[in-house]
Amino acid sequence: MSGRARRAGQTALKASDFKPSIADSIFSSPAILGTTVCVGSHDGNLYAVDSNTGQELSRFATRGEIKSSPTIAGETVVIGSFDRGVYGLNVNAGLEQWQFRTRNDVFSSPIIADGVVYIGSDDGHVYALK
């Protein structure tokens, strides 16, 4: 694999074209829906950024670091946080649709299958949320 964006069927971006303003380190992979890029940060926020402009579209604050990668299903982005929470947010508006509390930090990244969110927690459990 050459890693060239054109061969992947994507528009090539120069590094200077995409510089969203995110306050802290990013430990996870982003999730993308259309031109919206969602990424969690060590500052506890989930950011939604326009991939064409780098402009912040929304920001959702948790009370802990975000190290898990977000997952998108339909119009919902799901993320885990070090505040022991799992959050379902509207991907465009960044508004909370639902929340689930585990008994410890959430390091793992969620997957979604058949409308069920599966995610592990540092409490030793894997949760199936519907």
Q: What percent of the chain has pLDDT over 70?
A: 85
pLDDT for position 7: 47
3 CA to centre of own chain: 23
Q: Hey, what CATH topology would domain 20-129 get?
A: Lipocalin (2.40.128)
Please report the beta strands in the chain, taking only residues with DSSP state E, as ranges in sequence order: 31-33, 36-40, 45-50, 56-61, 71-73, 76-80, 85-90, 96-101, 111-113, 116-120, 126-129
pTM of the model: 0.84
What's the pLDDT tens digit per position in 65-115?
999 999 999 999 999 999 999 999 999 899 999 999 999 999 999 999 999
Q: Is the pLDDT of residue 14 over 70?
A: no
CB 111 within 8 A of CB 72: no
